[in-house]
Amino acid sequence: MEATHDVLVVGAGCAGMRAAIEAFDQGADVALLSKIHPVRSHSGAAEGGINAALGNASEDDPEQHAYDTVKGSDYLGDQDAIQVLCDEAPDDVYQLEHWGAVFSRTEDGRIAQRPFGAAGAPRTAYAADITGHVLVHVLYEQVMKRDIFTYEEYFAWKLVIDDDRCQGVIAWDLLNGGLKTIGAKTVILTTGGAGRLYTGTTNAYACTGDGMAMALRVGVPLEDMEMMQFHPTTLAPSGVLITEGCRGEGAYLLNSEDDRFLKRYAPNAMELASRDVISRAEQTEIDEGRGVNGNVLLDLRHLGAEKIHERLHGTRELSMVFAGIDPIHDPIPVRPGAHYHMGGVATDLDGLTSITGLYAAGECACVSVHGANRLGGNALMETITFGKRSGAAAAEWALTHTTVAVPPSIEAGAERELGALLGRSDGERPWAIRDELASTMHENFGVFRREEQMQEQGRIIERLQERYERVVVEDKGDVFNNDLTQALELGFLLELAECMVVAGLARRESRGAHARPYDYPERDDANFLRHTLTSLSPSERVRLDWKPVTVTKWQPEERTY
Amino acid sequence: MTETSVQVEDPNAPTMAVALKIWRYDAQTGEKELREYEVDAPEWACLLDVLDLIKDKVDGSLAYRKSCRMMICGSCGMRMDGRAVLACKERMKPIVDAGHVPVISAMGNLPIVKDLVVDMDPFWGKVRAVKPWLDPGYDEAEEKERIVSQQDMNVIHKEALCIMCGCCVSECNSMESDPDFLGPAALAKGFRFVGDPRERGQIERLNTLNQEHGIWDCTRCYFCNERCPKGVDPRDAIAKLGAESIKEGIDHDMGAKHAKWFVTSAKTTGWLRETELVPKTQGVVSAIKEAKFALKLLRHGKVPPPVPPHVAEDVHEARGLYELVREQGRDGALGIVQGERALARLDQEKGLEE
């Protein structure tokens, strides 16, 4: 065993770093572990902003924020968790400002806030259109200030469970090679999402759902895995994100007939309806022949060059490099792309999972504050608030318990498994399986879902898993062997896809991101106002259970924008 | 409702044959080898896409870093034909159309781990050396946010864009000759705090950054500005640190004295009095040592004779400029930032007219 910590945080994006900082400040010996350097984390690609009812741009309060979030979630969000998020958000954002976050400012020098989709007030605090970048860097500054030890470029592969407790992580050391066991009294999973399940995704190559899959493999249930959000404005072909901030600043969505088509789908909110609504509207326009080469158009031209330069500088840069379009002069072709997993590791309000000592926060977790559809700006907020809470809870537990034990048999088992993978030299390499998984998920488990397509996807995944069992890693070396880690990531993705399909088939209704217009077009609160839980069981592979939704003060209503 | 037609990847998208030469490096054996690869790639492919295709279909052992593929994570810094680039930003089509086979190699000024992967520890060591966190001057924060104007925050706008990719460090000529030079990324990070209106430790920071291997060791080759993929312009950040230092009277370094003499010389006689530059910058002893060299220059007509002092005809223009900067309080970093923003606006307007 390499080392023992009170708290080991796996993943070093916004949630991970915020958790580590909190655990450190509570007096725990804490370390971060990440397969990429902390500032490379995909939190940094968040653009538009972070939601907190600061009331800097207009009257606002946490209650209104909570209601918008509940409604946005299509009533699948747990209202106690949402209340926690919205109540703690303002102080958590002020904290970031005091650490040095470079927020944009109002005329009177306060943190600027812009309107975002499905929000009743301009609530999204922002730093131009690089909010995530700014937060990742300010958090890493605070990590450096505290000199929190970071296992950089360590690929977490397995959780160590002994005595019904999580007691550490087994990871592959990318720079030097070899499996390393890091013991810890508590482990916090903050590994982000799994957008790499899809061909067209805003997510980084690193977003392969590692934490979700590691938790799944030790028996922790995953919640609402069918809920994958499609962001309405992504660039073809790769899915690079164009921020909702564009629409927050006033951009239009047009079809091939130069028509602001949202008036037929969300006549009040128009371009600022929630993401699920807009993605479905766009897909419908494209399907009915009013698209432009499989896209719709995001028009910023009327905002003027000055506003684009000042507040949407990064968006212009992305459009010019990845689409050859200068949004000052031409509309940007955009389409829905896989963006955010509302589902994840089931946790309580402190990030605790079903296993003692194991916590999760951020996109990797499902608390659940986003339910069936996340509001733009709520993801960064969740990373901060629930990162902080899980860090505090893990530290408290660790400081009142003393021992860490990793039985040698667990390490030996991992070595054996890895040896078998590296020992194979004849057969298929992983990339074709990865590409087929991503393209079929996009086709069969996308914006609109059909029973038979989901069933077919289940069979496809099964066949891909059989092929994966015999997969070959070509690089046998120790130094920076990401040929190996990419193969391990594919194993994670396949299991998560299986959970998504099982949960998707079981949810026989349309709610938020789970849209089944062909067989179950309506929301069905009588039967499905509840969370799916998928877990691995030896007998039936993926086992499905249900969990009630926590409703405190907002009864489900019809949801229109 | 019609059939949903999700376009995943157009199978008929036009492709092109892309050839690359890659410097492979095996740290365990120390072997280096330039290998050529050719793959079919979609026409929209960037360098990173091509590397992915090579790793998938030709050689799984090829090592490089990547993550966001949208120019924000800073993982994929490497060199193409000897220039530092982000692999995700470089479109391949124009290169293929030109019939060129680019050479891809690891970034410079950092030890190579394998192939295109460098050891970033020295890079981060220098970032840590500039105390890279805000010193707000208090322990307990007030209840709400601090009140700061957007104009004041704009001072560090460019430095806040830095993604720590290392492209500037790779290209830094000063660092090549002095590996201990703090370098453009760390110094830009330094200015990110010196220029922050919320910072309370400016003077301490400036004193640190004025030490040996600090701001005055930059040779102003401007490679960092030219190669930065995000428009941070690290050399300009170093200039802002210099301006702030002199404004605060931190001028013990030869570099600061050198800069100050330029100003004095310009405002008194309107031209650079080179004969006085050496004693003013390096001191009298050093100047005596250089006297022989100076006489030689004089003999060959490379410098004008120092006596009688010559005053430029339009010296009032230089003096006027000096007074203007002083009266308007535009000495220090703010003046440079305002100048940059004014130039950017002119560029924008020019772009719109075209």
The predicted pLDDT at position B1 comes to: 40
How buried is A326 (Cβ within 10 angstroms: 0-12 exposed, 13-18 middle, 19+ buried)?
Answer: middle
Residue A277 lies inside a defined structural domain of this protein: yes
Q: What mean pLDDT comes out for the span A493-517?
A: 98
Task: Give the model's confidence band at A278: pLDDT under 50 very low, under 70 low, under 90 confident, else very high.
Answer: very high
Q: Are strands A541-548 and A3-10 parallel, antiparallel or unpaired?
A: unpaired
Residue B33 pLDDT greater than 80, yes or no: yes
* B contact residues 17-76, partner A, Cβ 8 Å cutoff: 26-28, 42, 44, 55-57, 59-61, 63, 65-75
Contact call for B9 and A141, based on CB within 8 A:
no
Give the A:B interface size as CB pairs under 8 Å.
186
Residue B354 pLDDT greater than 90, yes or no: no
The predicted pLDDT at position A31 comes to: 98
Residue B348 pLDDT greater than 80, yes or no: no
CB contacts of B69 in chain A (<8 Å) are 204-205, 238, 240
The predicted pLDDT at position A224 comes to: 98
The predicted pLDDT at position B6 comes to: 53
By Cβ distance, the residue of B2, B9, B60 closest to A475 is B60
How buried is A355 (Cβ within 10 angstroms: 0-12 exposed, 13-18 middle, 19+ buried)?
Answer: middle
Task: Chain A: give the shortest CA distance to residue B271, in Å.
Answer: 39
Task: Give the model's confidence band at B299: pLDDT under 50 very low, under 70 low, under 90 confident, else very high.
Answer: confident
Residue-wise pLDDT tens digits, B139-190? 777 789 999 999 999 999 999 999 999 999 999 999 999 999 999 999 999 9
Tell me, yes or no, if B111 comes closer than 8 A to chain A by beta carbon: no
**ipTM given for this complex:** 0.96
Q: What mean pLDDT comes out for the span A405-417?
A: 95
Residue-wise pLDDT tens digits, A422-459? 999 999 999 999 999 999 999 999 999 999 999 999 99
Handedness of CA A510, A256, A250, B348 (dihedral sign): positive
Residues above pLDDT 90, as percent of chain B = 66
Using CA atoms in the order B164, B166, B167, B171, what is the torsion angle rounded to 10 degrees?
A: 140
Task: Give the model's confidence band at B2: pLDDT under 50 very low, under 70 low, under 90 confident, else very high.
Answer: very low
**Lowest mean pLDDT segment, chosen from A39-48, A181-190, B313-322, B338-347:** B338-347
Q: Are strands A296-299 and A252-254 parallel, antiparallel or unpaired?
A: antiparallel
| pTM for this predicted structure | 0.96
Residue A478 lies inside a defined structural domain of this protein: yes
Task: Give the model's confidence band at B302: pLDDT under 50 very low, under 70 low, under 90 confident, else very high.
Answer: confident
Contact call for B68 and A134, based on CB within 8 A:
no
What residues have CB less than 8 Å from A538, skipping those under 6 apart? none
Selected residue of A321, A447, A484, A520 to mutate for chain B interface (largest B Cβ count, 10 A): A321
Residue A198 pLDDT greater than 60, yes or no: yes
Q: Enumerate the active-site residues of A.
A: 275
Of the three residues A337, A357, A392, the one that is the final residue of a domain is A337
Residue-wise pLDDT tens digits, B117-143? 999 999 999 999 999 999 999 877 778
Q: How many Cβ atoms from other residues are within 10 Å of residue A403's Cβ?
A: 10
The domain ranges of chain B are 15-118, 120-273+309-354
By Cβ distance, the residue of A102, A175, A287 closest to B153 is A102
The predicted pLDDT at position A202 comes to: 97
The predicted pLDDT at position B352 comes to: 64
B138-177 as b/e: b if 16+ CB within 10 A: eeeeeebbeebeeeebbbbbbbbbbbbbbbbbbbbbbbee
Residue A111 lies inside a defined structural domain of this protein: no
- Say if residue A419 is in the same domain as residue A328: no
Alpha carbons B212 and B180: distance in angstroms, whole number = 9
Instruction: Select from B215, B259, B235, B240 the least CA-distant residue to B337.
Output: B240
Domain B15-118 in CATH: superfamily? Beta-grasp domain (3.10.20.30)
Task: Chain A: give the shortest CA distance to residue B91, in Å.
Answer: 8
Of the three residues A299, A314, A337, the one that is the final residue of a domain is A337
The predicted pLDDT at position B11 comes to: 61
The predicted pLDDT at position B334 comes to: 86
Of the three residues A337, A358, A383, the one that is the final residue of a domain is A337
C-alpha distances in Å from residue A399, one per residue of A27, A28, A116, A164, A183? 8, 7, 41, 18, 15
Contact call for A98 and B141, based on CB within 8 A:
yes
Alpha carbons A544 and A158: distance in angstroms, whole number = 23
Identify the DSSP state of B213: T
What residue numbers bound the domain in which A241 lies?
Answer: 231-337
CB contacts of A36 in chain B (<8 Å) are 65, 67, 73, 75
Residue A446 lies inside a defined structural domain of this protein: yes
CB contacts of B6 in chain A (<8 Å) are 283, 442-443, 446-447
The predicted pLDDT at position A35 comes to: 98
A503-519 as b/e: b if 16+ CB within 10 A: bbbebebbbbbbbbbbe
Bigger pLDDT: A459 vs B259: A459
Could you tell me which chain B residue has the CA closest to the CA of A429? B56
The predicted pLDDT at position B341 comes to: 85
Bigger pLDDT: B235 vs B307: B235
C-alpha distances in Å from residue B151, one per residue of A102, A105, A108, A131? 12, 9, 11, 18
3-state secondary structure of A259: coil
For residue A414, the one-letter residue type is A
Q: What mean pLDDT comes out for the span A403-411?
A: 92
Tell me, yes or no, if B7 comes closer than 8 A to chain A by beta carbon: yes
Contact call for B7 and A236, based on CB within 8 A:
yes
3-state secondary structure of B37: strand
Helical (H) or strand (E) element with A172: strand A165-173
Domain count, chain A: 2
By Cβ distance, the residue of A40, A144, A439 closest to B9 is A439
Domain B120-273+309-354 in CATH: superfamily? Alpha-helical ferredoxin (1.10.1060.10)
Contact call for B70 and A41, based on CB within 8 A:
no
The predicted pLDDT at position B10 comes to: 62
Identify the DSSP state of B310: P
Q: Which residues pair with B312 in a beta bridge?
A: none
Bigger pLDDT: B303 vs A182: A182
Task: Give the model's confidence band at B9: pLDDT under 50 very low, under 70 low, under 90 confident, else very high.
Answer: low
DSSP symbols for A229-255: EEEEEE-TTT--B--THHHHTT-EEE-
Contact call for B141 and A305, based on CB within 8 A:
no
CB contacts of A322 in chain B (<8 Å) are 70
Per the prediction, chain A carries an average pLDDT of: 96
The predicted pLDDT at position A54 comes to: 98
Task: Chain B: give the shortest CA distance to residue A398, in Å.
Answer: 26
Bigger pLDDT: B292 vs A262: A262
CATH number at residue A318: 3.90.700.10
Residue-wise pLDDT tens digits, A5-35? 999 999 999 999 999 999 999 999 999 999 9
CB contacts of B143 in chain A (<8 Å) are 94
Alpha carbons B67 and B71: distance in angstroms, whole number = 9
Tell me, yes or no, if B98 comes closer than 8 A to chain A by beta carbon: no
Q: What mean pLDDT comes out for the span B267-273?
A: 85
Alpha carbons A393 and A9: distance in angstroms, whole number = 13
